[in-house]
């Protein structure tokens, strides 16, 4: 029987290095689909919705760019609104689809949705393709059971593995199904209209490849390790994460670019460190796959839960840059206004929430999930567990000295002035028993 394929695009919004499209070339027909899930926009766990405006704006740009790329092949990107586990079985029935292509994703919710699709369409052939990660299950240098419990041993083994070559750009794609007639799809009322974001990132594969070429056309890779801890500035890090995490750029494309740069311009500690950081991203993907929903548990992998709780007022002040800590306030203002924060800034504010404010780390992780333009479930929640001392870290958490961090990374208060971090107010207006604090007690 000829394959009638449906490609469910998710975090793989690109044409280059796309194994799913290569496989789809053997099909008699191809239906390309992206599904906007209403659950992204509804407050759920920890009082936050998953999708904030910054990432939603970025995704809109990614979809527009992908749609233009598909049109070159006589294809189109069909955007549906609803639950994937309901929409995909209906599409399979309507268009006699017998083959589903999708990128393998490690998120617990994403895997649950795919299982529901499997259950609803038992005769459907499903190809889950490892193309969001550097490795696939065959090239990973250990089984899931043997995945190291911390990053360093993973890195030492992973650095020895040779990666497969990137996939060629498709020469052609199959036509849409013969019976295909896109119904009139109106934008549901539950979809928020994206507002122009102040983010410096523009979505789409075209912008991703442009940035890839620009970054590796100069000296920035040779100085990455020297500047990666700076709080501000376009050149202080590689800035690939938003495109990597929506799949506009594959990690193998980035690794290939690093290797080509080293061959042409020479390698040093900084160029190697770009790959080290890419392997951190990789480790968190497989770590999440191994531990599953424990990634979201309060005590994570620890024997005992952290000595923190939920202080509504403290959490709110942290979110809106109104703590007694100017550097933290500046970081939180930048995050809220742009959807981005340097890695050093993320560590500082996470440590503050957990250690200075004694707030349950999961509320901070959920706020980051809502705000970040470069959000990834495994990276975000894995890093928060790391700071809270309940994840992949044998040393038991991270507590940053805020005065020392300020003197190291913003000694002249340039960053704090830029993002309005100087304004501070008392941490609590009530005590731990919810009893009002008198004005003279808060001084």
- CA dist., res. 368 & res. 372, Å (int): 6
Query: How far apart are the C-alpha atoms of 5 and 264, rounded to whole Å?
Result: 41
How far apart, in whole angstroms, are the C-alpha atoms of residue 139 and residue 163? 8
* Cα 276 to Cα 413: distance, rounded to the nearest angstrom: 31
- Relative orientation angle of helices 361-371 and 343-351, to the nearest 10 degrees: 150
What DSSP element (H or E) covers 300?
Answer: none
Q: Are 315 and 308 in contact (CB under 8 A)?
A: no
DSSP code of residue 235: G
* Element housing 227 (H / E): helix 224-227
Report which DSSP code applies to 171.
Answer: S
Kindly state the DSSP code that residue 220 receives in the 8-state scheme. G
- Low-confidence stretches of the chain (pLDDT beneath 50): 184, 441-443
Please count the other Cβ atoms lying within 10 Å of the Cβ belonging to residue 349: 30
* Predicted pLDDT of residue 185: 55
| Best CA proximity match to 58, nearest among 384, 376, 342, 383 | 376
Q: Are 296 and 381 in contact (CB under 8 A)?
A: yes
pLDDT (tens digit per residue) in 205-243: 999 999 999 999 999 999 999 999 999 999 999 999 999
Find the helix packing angle between 205-215 and 53-71, rounded to 10°: 100
pLDDT at 438: 58
DSSP labels for 197-246?
Answer: P--S---SHHHHHHHHHHHTTSSGGGGHHHHTT-SS-GGGS---HHHHHT
Q: 46: number of CA atoms within 13 Å, CB side?
A: 21
Q: What is the pLDDT of residue 182?
A: 55
Distance CA 89, CA 116 (A): 10
How many Å apart are CA 163 and CA 160, to the nearest integer? 10
Span 406-420, pLDDT tens digits:
999 999 999 999 999
* pLDDT value for 442: 45
pLDDT given at position 429: 83
d(CA 377, CA 339): 15
**Cβ–Cβ < 8 Å for 351, 323:** no
């Amino acid at each position: 029987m000829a394959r009638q394929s449906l490609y469910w695009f998710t975090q793989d919004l690109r044409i280059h290095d796309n194994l799913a499209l290569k496989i789809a070339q053997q099909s008699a027909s191809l239906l390309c689909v992206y599904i906007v899930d209403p659950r992204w926009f509804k407050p759920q766990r920890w009082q936050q919705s998953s999708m904030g405006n910054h990432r939603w704006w970025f995704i809109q740009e990614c979809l527009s760019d992908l749609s233009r790329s598909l049109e070159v092949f006589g294809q189109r990107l069909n955007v549906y609104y609803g639950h994937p586990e309901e929409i995909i079985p209906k599409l399979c029935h309507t268009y006699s689809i017998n083959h589903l292509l999708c990128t393998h994703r490690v998120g617990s919710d994403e895997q649950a949705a795919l299982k529901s699709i499997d259950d609803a369409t038992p005769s459907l052939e499903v190809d889950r393709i490892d193309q969001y990660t550097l490795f696939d299950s065959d090239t990973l240098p250990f089984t899931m059971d043997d995945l190291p419990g911390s990053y360093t041993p993973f890195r030492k083994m992973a650095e020895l593995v040779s990666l497969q070559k990137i996939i060629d750009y498709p020469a052609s794609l199959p036509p849409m199904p013969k019976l295909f007639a896109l119904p009139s799809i109106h934008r549901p009322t539950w979809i928020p209209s994206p507002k122009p974001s102040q983010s410096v990132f523009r979505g789409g594969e075209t912008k991703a490849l442009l940035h890839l070429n620009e970054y590796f056309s100069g000296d920035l890779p040779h100085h990455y390790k020297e500047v990666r801890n700076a709080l501000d500035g376009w050149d202080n890090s590689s800035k690939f994460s938003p495109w990597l995490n929506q799949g506009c750029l594959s990690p193998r494309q980035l690794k290939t670019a690093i290797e080509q740069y080293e061959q042409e311009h020479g390698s040093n500690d900084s160029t190697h460190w770009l790959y080290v950081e890419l392997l951190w991203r990789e480790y968190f993907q497989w770590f999440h796959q191994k531990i599953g929903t424990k990634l979201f548990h309060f005590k994570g992998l620890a024997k005992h839960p952290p000595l923190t709780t939920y202080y509504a007022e403290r959490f709110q002040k942290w979110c809106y840059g109104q703590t007694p800590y100017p550097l933290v306030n500046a970081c939180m203002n930048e995050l809220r206004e742009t959807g981005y924060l340097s890695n050093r800034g993320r560590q500082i504010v996470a440590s503050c929430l957990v250690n200075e404010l004694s707030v349950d780390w999961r509320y901070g992780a959920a706020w980051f999930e809502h705000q970040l333009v470069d959000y990834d479930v495994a990276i975000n929640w894995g890093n928060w567990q790391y700071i809270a001392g309940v994840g992949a870290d044998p040393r038991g958490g991270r507590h940053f000295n805020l005065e020392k961090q300020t003197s190291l990374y913003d000694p002249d208060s340039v960053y704090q002035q830029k993002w309005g971090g100087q304004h501070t107010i008392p941490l609590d207006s009530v005590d731990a028993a919810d009893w009002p604090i008198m004005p003279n007690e808060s001084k």
